Amino acid sequence: MKRLTLTICLTSALVSSPLMAASAKSSDDPSADYRQQWHGDIFKGYQSLATQSQTLAQQAETYCQAPSPEGLEQTKQAWLEAFLAWQRVRFVDFGPVEQGNRAWQFQFWPDPKNLVARKASYLLKDDAPVTPEKINESGVAVQGFPIAEYLLYDQAFSEGESALPADHTCKLLVAVTHHIAANGEALANDWNSFQSSYVGNEQYTDTTIRAAMAGLEILEERRLATPMGLRGNGKRSVYSADAWRSGASLIAADASVRGLKHYFLPAFSELLKDRKQAELAEEIGQQFDEVLANFPELDRPMAPLLADDNAFRSLQSLYIDVTQLTAMVNDRAAIKLGVVRGFNSSDGD
C-alpha cells in the first residue's frame, strides 16, 4: 500500500498557520475562533486515524505474506489501535464523514442481524478474487473495522477451516484493511479542505456541539445502557455492545470520551467561558475526568462484567458518570448556549 500522500504531511502545517488563523479572527463572526480550534483539533484526530489505519493495512499484509502466531497478535494490536483512533473522532457526524456513508464504512453498527458475519461468509465462499472493486460494491458491512474484527477475533470462525491465515481469508483481510486506510487518508484530506467552509459558516458552531451531544447520548443509551439491560428488553447482553468480539467495547468507550475531551472540550470550554459560564465549563471538565477515572479498571471485556453482579457495579459506576456528563453537556450547557437537539443520523435508527 502506498504511503499517506504528501497532502496529509503538508496540511498539518496549514491548519495551524498564522495566516489562516488571522483570516478566521478577522471575520465578523466571533464564533469563528472556536471553529478554527475545533477544526485543528479534529484534524489531529483524523490524522491519527489515517496513520493508524495505514499501519493496520501494512501489518495485515506483512502477516499474510509470512503468517505466524506473533504476526497475528501484532495484527490484532494494529486493528485495536486503528479502531480506537476511529472511536476518538466518532462523534463528528457532519462534513466529509457523511460523504459516501463513510462513518458506516468505518463501523457498521448496530448489527442486530449479524450482517457482518453473514457477508463475510458469503465473500469467503465466493471463488471470485477479492479486489478493491469487490469490497466497494459489497456494501458498508464489509468495508470497515467490524468485518476485520470478525476475521481476527471471532471465536467460532477462528476454529473453522477458513480461519486465518487461510489464503482467501487473508486476501479479504488485506483488502478490507486497505479500504479502511484509503478512507482514513481521504477523510483527513477532505477535512482539511473543508476548513474554509467550516470556519466561515456560523451554523457549524451549533452543528459541532450537537455532534458531541449525540456522541454522548449514543454512548450512554446504546453502547452502555442497552447491553447492561437498562434499555430494550431489560436483559444484559454483550451482543448489543459494539466490538464485543474483540472485548474492546469498554476500551472503545474510553477512547470516545478521550476524543471528546481532546478534540471537542477545549474550544467548547472557551465558548462557555466567553458566555459567562466559566463555572459550568469547569464542572464539565471535572466530569470528563470523573468518567475517565473509571479506567483502566474497565479496560477489559464487558461480558464478564455483565455476568457477575459484583463486577457489574463497576459498569454501573461508569454509566452513572456518563449519564451525569451527558446531562451537563446536553441539558445544562446546551440550554445556556441556546443549542437545540437535532436529528442524529449516526445512531443506527
Phi, psi of 292 (to 5 degrees): -70, -20
Interatomic CA distance for residues 56 and 76, integer angstroms? 9
pLDDT (tens digit per residue) in 291-319: 999 998 899 999 999 999 999 999 999 99
pLDDT (tens digit per residue) in 29-79: 889 999 999 999 999 999 999 999 999 999 999 999 999 999 999 999 999
Interatomic CA distance for residues 21 and 192, integer angstroms? 14
Closest to 288 in 3D by CA, of 320, 264, 322: 322
pLDDT (tens digit per residue) in 213-246: 999 999 999 999 999 999 988 999 999 999 999 9
As assigned by CATH, the class of the 30-200 domain is: mainly alpha
Domain at 202-349, CATH from 2.160.20.10, 1.20.1420.20, 3.40.50.1100, 1.20.1250.20:
1.20.1420.20
In Å, the largest CA–CA distance within the chain is 64
Where do the CATH 1.20.1420.20 domains begin and end in the chain? 30-200, 202-349
pLDDT band at 341 (very low <50, low <70, confident <90, very high): confident
Instruction: Summarize the confidence of residues 9-23 as an average pLDDT.
Output: 42
Computed over every residue of the chain, the mean pLDDT equals: 91
From residue 246, give the alpha-carbon distance in Å to each of 58, 71, 76: 20, 17, 9
